[in-house]
Amino acid sequence: MMKLRLLRVRNALVRECMAEFLGTFVLLLFGCSAAAQVKTSRETKGQFLSVNMAFSVGVMSAMYLTKGITGAHLNPAVTLSFCVLGRVPWRKLMPYSLSQVLGAYVASGLVYLVYYDAIMEFSEGVLTVYGPNETASIFATYPTEHLTLGRSFLDQVVGTGMLLLCILCLDEKRNSPAPSELTPPIVATIVLGISMSMSGNCGAAINPARDLGPRLFSLTAGWGTEVFTCYNYWFWVPVVAPPIGGVLGCLMYLVFIHWQLPGPDPPEDTSTLSTISDKIKQPSSTWENEVELKCAHL
Amino acid sequence: MMKLRLLRVRNALVRECMAEFLGTFVLLLFGCSAAAQVKTSRETKGQFLSVNMAFSVGVMSAMYLTKGITGAHLNPAVTLSFCVLGRVPWRKLMPYSLSQVLGAYVASGLVYLVYYDAIMEFSEGVLTVYGPNETASIFATYPTEHLTLGRSFLDQVVGTGMLLLCILCLDEKRNSPAPSELTPPIVATIVLGISMSMSGNCGAAINPARDLGPRLFSLTAGWGTEVFTCYNYWFWVPVVAPPIGGVLGCLMYLVFIHWQLPGPDPPEDTSTLSTISDKIKQPSSTWENEVELKCAHL
Amino acid sequence: MMKLRLLRVRNALVRECMAEFLGTFVLLLFGCSAAAQVKTSRETKGQFLSVNMAFSVGVMSAMYLTKGITGAHLNPAVTLSFCVLGRVPWRKLMPYSLSQVLGAYVASGLVYLVYYDAIMEFSEGVLTVYGPNETASIFATYPTEHLTLGRSFLDQVVGTGMLLLCILCLDEKRNSPAPSELTPPIVATIVLGISMSMSGNCGAAINPARDLGPRLFSLTAGWGTEVFTCYNYWFWVPVVAPPIGGVLGCLMYLVFIHWQLPGPDPPEDTSTLSTISDKIKQPSSTWENEVELKCAHL
Amino acid sequence: MMKLRLLRVRNALVRECMAEFLGTFVLLLFGCSAAAQVKTSRETKGQFLSVNMAFSVGVMSAMYLTKGITGAHLNPAVTLSFCVLGRVPWRKLMPYSLSQVLGAYVASGLVYLVYYDAIMEFSEGVLTVYGPNETASIFATYPTEHLTLGRSFLDQVVGTGMLLLCILCLDEKRNSPAPSELTPPIVATIVLGISMSMSGNCGAAINPARDLGPRLFSLTAGWGTEVFTCYNYWFWVPVVAPPIGGVLGCLMYLVFIHWQLPGPDPPEDTSTLSTISDKIKQPSSTWENEVELKCAHL
């Protein structure tokens, strides 16, 4: 073991970025593979619901893999929201986000390799964004035809807001918390609910990494610049709207629930979601204290 | 934090009504969004089952958000049943119920905003209650064509009775209780079961707020008075029948299970479902005692 | 409360029979309602899978209602198996079984009342066992056309054997038990698995009460004697085969798992599944001891 | 009991092989029965998703039956991976694997017996591997038509790698473990995710026993040598690729997660997954120590 310990990365941030990379990789490998399976089998080996369910299983697995290391954000909108709430230091926002995008990119590449034959047969070798044989939607999300820009922006804000609103309560001991060891399947169920109800307009990305990583991959893999230019450069919506939605969801949670709970908050509140590295480096700062500081600046 | 604490609402009842508002909002946002997604995509992005499942996820999320504050009724029929059982004081019945209806109304409005383009395209701009392009059923429930009034009333009584019968046992320590931290997914599963089996006749509202709130919204949003007058003013059935069914379900539970359990009941029985504010204000009254008092009046 | 305690049934066996009646009633109300919903909506409001899922939710709910009182058999084949294993005294076999059949009968009646309009419209008023408009399969199970008698017998033996084999291990502390408070959803999942995989031949009754009760109801409600005479008096198969299968499943469990676990068994083994009345009346006899006695007679 | 104890097999390895046999038998009985039900009913009694779900329920049930005895491998690729990790001694690899293949073979035989009439009717008595009436896919997996050999090999490597990557973290106390009593449903959910997303190419065997056992059965039962020779002797892919994928998945887990966790590892780490016989025979060796030894040889 002495020898293997040499493989341990000394920099805590790098270790955490590796975890976020792996987690987002797992999430997208499940999700995009299911999209490829359903699309290329022309819905004979699954349907819309099974893609939603596969993303949900991906969330669960990725959380069990990484929750103890980073808190399992898997989503820049979640990382940003946790920065705003003071749960995560701001300096981690960019490294985490880039790791998440990279994980999604690499997962898309692997899905492409695994389903290459099926994609080629389905698309007859022409990789397009439009039409009955389009395959770009295996990777990134695209809006329906008559959706206006503002509507799709609102859609992403509402979906991500619901995500944050619903997951923030799960570890609040003063309310009715979920069992800490079972938050992965419960968060996965919430994500399943969102993708069954709010993916009608534009696919419920609610996650810049989940959308941008695969879109970048499909750009490089042969779908061309259309993956970015189509629908009047729509690609920026699932990148920009989710972080805004996430913060609004947090605010809604604070106003309706968190600030209404009886106080003062016990100091052990912070321990459930805090990560190993946080415990080591920030033993004296509790979440509540940081919320206090950060939110006072809002 | 001192400053943020100023945002805390001083009146406990208002805080609880905020929670019931938010919980019912979340429940309906999941459920009606799914109905809109399935309807406007002509079942290509989900089917009947996925609407049932989305309502179920909504129940779970709403319960985790509010169970520690109010007990997560989310339904006037549940609030009334708990009043009858003595678990909740009668003075809370109307405030809770109005908050629930308001939450359902606001959620419907947000669903309408998010799915406005899709609804307009599907309905070709004509918001109707009847016909193949009807969209009113995204919001409120409607009966099938040949259903008699009495039958639909019975349907709602039975559905709500099953709900109360099945959830009342979940926190009974003398029987085989569910884990307190996992009642939200278990209640959600029961609601899923009811909506898979008892929604054939008239949509399994089993909740006056879930039906009246969205119906009021669709009245104000352009579907016209037909949402109330159609099917011979059928709208009152899911408002009036569920509370009756809820109380009958409680009675069935008491007769077949509760009164048959060994006694005397330990005094800590009351703690599982009691809410924070109840604990503060009514430390000396246990549920059993209240059941005793109230039920003796039946 | 003193007054209400008068409503408590003094005879423990009657109390237990009330619980088995109610549990089987709940199981069948979920299951047959779902069958009615799917059938009469011509699969527009659910499909084969949703009937399976509704039966599964019924198992979960019925178990939470009655597990602390009787152990939640809900099935004469389970009661018989537990008698053979020594977990339940033989004198309870007939009272439990009759209560279960009666619960299934009454639930069928309520399903008929709730779905009367829909059944009449679907069947055009002719209640038949055969043909595209048949509605008898809402209640009892029927074999597929080319199934031989022996095959359907084997089918019911295997299905019920799998049920017992898979549930007997769930409370064995020397192996890897399920959490005692979560056995209801886990058993429900096993039943879902069986009904998704072993209902192709003849509907996976695997429960004499689940089949005979509804069949008796459909006899009395207007489907005529054909419900018993059809397919060459096939009705006896789901009555006779499941108890045999249940006992064989127990034997398989004992040979492959139970007798191979390390001993001697700790005396607290008995407490998980034992019921309240058993605890009162038989404090000195453990399951292991009874297994010893009974199995020695095999 | 004294007498029955005589039925206890004295050799611990034989007892473990009996458990692996039974577990794989249960897994395949659920899975292949569901495949037979869906296939022979022409998707009227289930669909692709319900086969995936039935395999998942099979995983859960088989794990509860055998986790305390062998750790519930049910898959030679898992056994090999655990040998490489040092969790299981190498001498158990072949006995376990053969037991698993045998369990799968016997389960296939029972499925054939139960669904014989249905298979004969569906296939019109001609048991074939190709064409619209083929029934070989009820038992073993087969690739889609245009899939290249290398692609299918990659597919099996990736699928099995994901399985190991996602399950290895579930009992790691230094990360965010799943509740030990609930790993069976969680692993079942992971397997469901894999079969919904990575079965598009060649059926997601990810398990040599799950594929070879049923293939051997279909050879002996009348489908002929084509089950082995078809698709250019493709049968070896799901036998050879999964073990490679499993080991690569372990390596990925070690590099990205395990070696990055804080150390030194507490000595009680080993207790969660270790089996009864291991506890008796190897009380002084912890998993960590063995990982150390074995992995140092990689």
Nearest to A50 among D49, D194, D295 (CB): D49
| Cα C173 to the center of its chain, rounded Å | 25
Residue D290: both structure tokens together: 């063995």
Q: Is residue D281 situated within a structural domain?
A: no
Q: How near does any CA of chain C get to the CA of D111, in Å?
A: 9
- A247–chain D nearest CA distance, Å: 26
Asked if residue D205 is part of any domain, the answer here is yes
Cα B292 from Cα C196, distance rounded (Å): 45
Residue C65: which of B49, B169, B198 has the nearest Cβ?
B169
**CA-based end-to-end distance of chain A:** 48
Q: Does D274 touch chain C (CB under 8 A)?
A: no
CA angle C159, C161, C167 (to 5 degrees): 105
Q: How far apart are CA C186 and CA A65, in angstroms?
A: 24
Say whether pLDDT at A273 is over 70.
no
Query: What mean pLDDT is reported for chain D?
Result: 90
Residue B262's pLDDT is what? 87
Mutation for C interface: B176, B270, B290, most C CBs within 10 A: B176
pLDDT of B104 reads 98
Alpha carbon of residue B150 to chain centroid: 22
Residues of chain C with pLDDT under 50: 1-2, 266-298
Peptide bond into D264 cis (omega under 30): yes
Cα dihedral: A15, A20, A21, A25 (round 10): 140
Name the DSSP letter for residue A21.
H
The pLDDT value recorded for residue B274 is 43
Q: Quick one: pLDDT at residue C264?
A: 60
Residue A297 scores a pLDDT above 80: no
Residue C49 neighbours by CB under 8 Å, 6+ apart? B49, C196, D46, D47, D49, D50
B-contacting chains (≥3 CB pairs under 8 Å): A, C
Residue type for position A35? A
Q: Are A37 and D198 in contact (CB under 8 A)?
A: yes
Residue A2 lies in a domain: no
Q: What is the CATH number of the domain that holds D250?
A: 1.20.1080.10
| C76-85 and C287-296 helices, crossing angle to 10° | 90
Of D48, D175, D182, the CB nearest to A69: D175
Q: Going by C-beta distance under 8 Å and a sequence separation of 6 or more, which residues neighbour residue D16?
A: D69, D70, D92, D95, D96, D275, D277
Cβ pair B74, B62 in contact under 8 A: yes
With 50 as the cut, is the pLDDT of residue D25 above it? Answer: yes
Site from D237, D252, D258, D260 to mutate, A interface, most A CB atoms within 10 angstroms:
D260
pLDDT at C262: 87
Average pLDDT of span A255-261: 95
What is the model's pLDDT at position C53? 98
| Residues constituting chain D | 298
Amino acid (1-letter code) at residue C34: A
Sign (positive/negative) of CA torsion B14, B15, B19, B22? positive
**Contact list, A196 vs chain B (CB under 8 Å):** 34, 37, 46, 50, 53-54, 57
Q: Out of A52-61, A263-272, B75-84, B210-219, pick the least confident.
A: A263-272
Residue A270 forms contact with D (CB below 8 Å): no
Is the confidence at residue D7, as pLDDT, over 90?
A: no
Q: What is the mean pLDDT of residues D37-58?
A: 97
Say yes or no: A275 contacts chain D, CB-CB below 8 A: no
Q: Token digits for D179?
A: 């509740």
Q: Which one, of D105, D96, D118, lies nearest residue D15 by Cα?
A: D96
| pLDDT at residue D78 in the model | 98
Mean of all residue pLDDT scores within chain A: 90
- Please check whether residue D138 lies inside any domain of the structure: yes
The pLDDT-based confidence of D5 (bands split at 50, 70, 90) is: low
Residue B72, in any domain of the structure = yes
Range of the domain at C133: 10-296
Dihedral sign of CA atoms D29, D34, D37, D39 in order: negative
For A51, the enclosing helix (H) or strand (E) is helix A48-70
Q: Is residue B5 part of a domain?
A: no
Task: Answer whether residue B284 is part of any domain.
Answer: yes
Query: Does residue D288 contact residue D270 with C-beta atoms inside 8 Å?
Result: yes
Measured distance CA(B148)–CA(B150) in Å, rounded: 6
- Work out the average pLDDT over D124-133: 94
Contact flag for D and A (3+ C-beta pairs < 8 Å): yes
Determine the number of helices (DSSP H) and then strands (DSSP E) in chain D: 13, 0
Q: Is the peptide bond before B264 cis (omega within 30 degrees of 0)?
A: yes
pLDDT of residue D6: 67
CA–CA separation, D46 and C47 (whole Å) = 8
Sort out which chain B residues have CB atoms less than 8 A from A252's CB and list them.
Answer: 22
> How many Cα atoms are found within 13 Å in the side-chain-facing hemisphere of A293?
10
Q: What is the pLDDT of residue B7?
A: 78
Residues of B in contact with A199 (CB under 8 A): 37, 45
Q: Which residues of chain B have pLDDT under 50?
A: 1-2, 266-298
Distances (CA, A) of A72 to A19, A21, A164, A187, D65: 8, 10, 13, 11, 32
| pLDDT in the model for residue A16 | 97
Domains held by chain B: number: 1
Residue A272 pLDDT greater than 50, yes or no: no
How high is the pLDDT of residue D4?
61
Q: Which candidate in C114, C275, C276, C278 is best for mutational testing of the B interface (most B CBs within 10 A)?
A: C114
In-domain check, residue A3: no
Q: Is B288 on the interface with C (CB under 8 A)?
A: yes
C180 part of contact set with chain D, CB < 8 Å: no
C90 interface with D at CB cutoff 8 Å: no
Distance CA(C24)–CA(D96), nearest Å, equals 41
Shortest alpha-carbon distance between residue A291 and chain D (Å) = 24
Question: Cβ of D68 and C174 within 8 Å?
Answer: yes
Portion of chain D with pLDDT greater than 70, in percent: 86
Is the pLDDT higher at A269 or at A143?
A143
Q: What is the DSSP string of A161-192?
A: HHHHHHHHGGG-TTS-PPPGGGHHHHHHHHHH
Sort out which chain B residues have CB atoms less than 8 A from C5's CB and list them: 259, 263
Return the residue in C145, C196, C259 with the most chain D beta carbons within 10 A, the one to mutate for interface testing. Answer: C196
List pLDDT tens digits, range C220-257: 999 999 999 999 999 999 999 999 999 999 999 999 99
- What subunits make at least 3 CB pairs under 8 angstroms with A? B, D
